[in-house]
Amino acid sequence: MDYVIETRDLTKCFGPFRAVSALNLRVAANHVTGFLGRNGAGKSTSIKMLLGMTYPTSGSGTVLGHAITDAKENREMRRKIAYVGEDKQLYAYMTVDQMIRFTASFYPDWSEQAAQRLRRQYQLPPDRKVKALSKGMRTKLALLLALARRPALLILDEPSEGLDPVSIEELLQTLAGVAAEGTAVFFSSHQISEVERIADRVCVLDGGKLAADLSLDELRQDYRRITLGFTTRPPEHVFEVPGVQRIETHGRQVIVIARQNTNEIVQRARGFDAASVDVEPVTLRDLFLATVRHVQ
């Protein structure tokens, strides 16, 4: 598999606080990868390090084969990628048209045709100042500026933050469309439902560390949520077998999230006279909560 992003032990410390800790991240080409994590998990810091906005304390990484810590290579990489930041702030003093002309001048692959098509599609008034645009309109303008340069990789930091449901829907459709045309998409979010809708791979970051990296197909095929009901409170340790991600006990009910050994867990439960056994596919939400709590 080809990777558009690869990091090795990427670490960022702010004084004594480790925002990102030995991150080994791999983002596959031709995929939509969701970067999940709670607020403050280190997602934005990781993205900023990839883009050269923040310098790593230690470790290294490449984006599209360019070393992120080398200023020249990082600049060359930025010519090939597009980034849409969390707050989608653009130059308030420019008009939509000025913003488009300004951005176009930096990218040799800029498609004026695509820019005008997107401007019409997004109904962006060319003479309106950026400061007079709503957040939804600003997001559309930021997407236009990102897509018209025809990037090999599109990086978005919390793209749906602050958007209304209609704008979120339009955004997700745009991202799915971009990915279908061959652009790798890497986007951070703490909205599990969004990631589940358009991502085909997911990386979970927690406490600055990579807690999970898997494809959603893998999740649906391999992971199981086993809900066990007992007449008496069962010992938790019985279900601690390889592949178990999390065990939760609520009174006489035990919930096990497992990647493998589902049959063994069921057999052990029956050995303890389980009153009910339910085996279901795991949702991304289950896995996310299991991973985050497990790491904690």
* Minimum distance, C-beta of residue 205 to other proteins, in the bound complex (Å): 19
- Please state the φ and ψ torsions of residue 101, each to the nearest 5 degrees: -65, -40
* Min CB(79)–other proteins separation in Å: 4
Q: Which two tokens stand for residue 254?
A: 């035990």
CB of 222 to other proteins, least distance (A): 37
Q: What are the distances in angstroms from CA 130 to CA 91, 125, 156, 166?
A: 7, 10, 20, 21
* CB of 154 or CB of 282, closer to other proteins: 154
Q: From 51, 47, 103, select the one nearest 74 (Cα to Cα).
A: 51
- For other proteins, which is the closer residue by CB, 91 or 267? 91
Minimum distance of other proteins from residue 65's CB (angstroms): 16
List the Cα angle 187/149/126 in 5-degree steps.
100
| Residue 41 Cα distances to 36, 87, 91, 131, 167, angstroms | 9, 18, 28, 31, 25
Contact 175, 159 (CB under 8 A): yes
Q: Which residue has the tokens 């000025």?
A: 98
- Minimum distance, C-beta of residue 257 to other proteins, in the bound complex (Å): 36
Identity of the residue, 82 or 219, whose beta carbon is nearer to other proteins in the bound complex: 82
Under DSSP, is residue 232 helix (H, G, I), strand (E, B) or coil? coil
Work out how close the CB of 91 gets to other proteins at its nearest, in angstroms, rounded to a whole number. 6
Residues forming contacts to other proteins in the complex (CB under 8 A) are 48, 51-55, 71, 75-76, 78-79, 81-83, 85-87, 89-94, 98, 101-103, 105-107, 142, 157
Task: Between 183 and 262, name the residue whose CB sits nearer to other proteins.
Answer: 183
- The nearer residue to other proteins, 108 or 242, going by C-beta atoms, is 108
Q: Kindly tell me which of 104 and 238 has the beta carbon lying closer to other proteins.
A: 104
